[in-house]
Amino acid sequence: MKIVRKLPPSSEGSAGARVVPWKLLVVDDEPDVRRLTALNLRGFEFAGRPLELIEAGSATEAHERLKEHGDIALALIDVVMESDDAGLKLVEYIRKDLKNLMIRLVIRTGQPGVAPERFVIDNFDIDDYKDKTELTAQKLYTTVRTALKGYRDLQTIEWNRIGLSRILAVTPDLYNLHRDKLEDYFQGVLMQLIGICKLGHSGMISTIDGLVATVDGQDIRIRAGAGDFDDSPGADTRRNEIVELCSNVIVGRDMPARLRNGALVIPLQVGEEIFGFVYLETGEDISESDRELIQIMANQCAAALDNFRLHHSLEESYDEAIDMLGQVAEFKDSATGTHIRRIQEYTRRLAIALGCPADEAEVYAKASRLHDVGKVGIPDNILRKPGSLNDDEFEIIKRHTKIGDTVLKRSPSLAVARLVARSHHEKWNGTGYPDGLAGDAIPFVARLVAAVDVFDALVSKRPYKGPWQKDKATTEIRNGSGAHFDPRIAETFLAMIDRGEVDDLVIAATAAPADHPNLAGE
């Protein structure tokens, strides 16, 4: 299978490439000058694209035309119109107020004495200065062509700059791409490709359309689009059609006739595996060197997809490991499972309430599930004892923190869970176990779990007690603030309880089967 496929121009039934004209604004208060300009540029083409002339009889009218057309490539501007310097003020408006640095501006005056060439060039951001008497049909052609070439080249630089900035923004995380950053990465790649083709313009892409789509089994997802394939209303029909057609291409079939002339389909491929495709529509031939560069960009895009898949495969493996170890604890006592799941949700909500980002809170929540995994090493006759523990039994059950630490230290990916397993029975005042840590020396995630673990134990059923009322359990947390619990964490947690933000978990704890007494609140 060819990596880059291009629809032959002679293919029967093919749709013609979408050709969008260059927009030329002619600003002059003399109608004859505007008509002569249109006549002299009749049939003009540059890079396979015709001209669209937009006329304005004054600087004021030009303001309106500029608002209507944000993609004007070139403006031919008279100086003396409604005032002696109306054209120069228009130049300042375009550059300073509109901040449009892309449009090429050519001053064209019939009264050079009013606006001397050197003064205008030195003091105004223009690209050329012409006396109307010297601007013959041939020189007009040359001036317009040169200006459009400059505009096109500036577009290329701008698209590459924007695309490169998007790519560089995610480069530090290239080997840890998240879904939101992946979209930015692909949009950056697409902009780079448009820049390579030298046919785009700032804002909406009119002369080159493209999309980047990824394939996961039968699921095809558009990651980035421009022109006909952007997110604008009404673009869905064209996008869906191209996705179907390009899907046929990347599985090895012939290029469909309904793709436009000049269309490129570039599979995103690593080895024999295809992750998706890039689709581009261009109105002119792309050089062999540019094709090679496009392929390099596509290869980088495919490598990022491959990395993204591997990264999330590792994330899934981590989640599976958490679930597996959590189930080990549940097998020790099946009633523990509901307690573990509640602790996970308590921890996630509390971390977010304390200002942790959602992804960080999720890490803490998953780690909290393994807080009591070390109890797999505690004898059943102690773990399941229906009454209170004596001192010797309590010393044995305290070992579950170190056992959990030993179990989890074998995997670096479980480092956070290891902190929880070892330190969730430490107390703020230093009287906890196993290490007697105090204050901020206790890992933050362990301080989170310490508070929610005790609260859930209090509001849960036990063989020797019913569930505490929420108010009574809240008082216990308040009394432990600054002694057992981190005061800031306790205060935030109490506020959540008062606002009813954990009522669903309290109700679930009350309705759950009775946990064994020595699993959580010893």
Catalytic residues: 375
Contact (CB, 8 A) for 164 and 108: no
The DSSP bridge partners found for residue 326 are none
CA distance 88 to 255: 52
Write phi, then psi, for 50 (nearest 5 degrees).
-80, 180
CA distance 171 to 405: 35
Q: At what angle do helices 336-353 and 288-332 cross, to 10 degrees?
A: 130
CA neighbor of 319 nearest in space, from 354, 394, 369: 369
CA neighbor of 374 nearest in space, from 349, 405, 331, 347: 405
CA distance 56 to 27: 5
CA neighbor of 349 nearest in space, from 335, 362, 340: 362
Q: Which two tokens stand for residue 416?
A: 């956070």
CA neighbor of 468 nearest in space, from 480, 481, 454: 454
CA distance 426 to 432: 4
CA distance 45 to 179: 43
> Which of helix, strand or coil describes residue 500?
coil
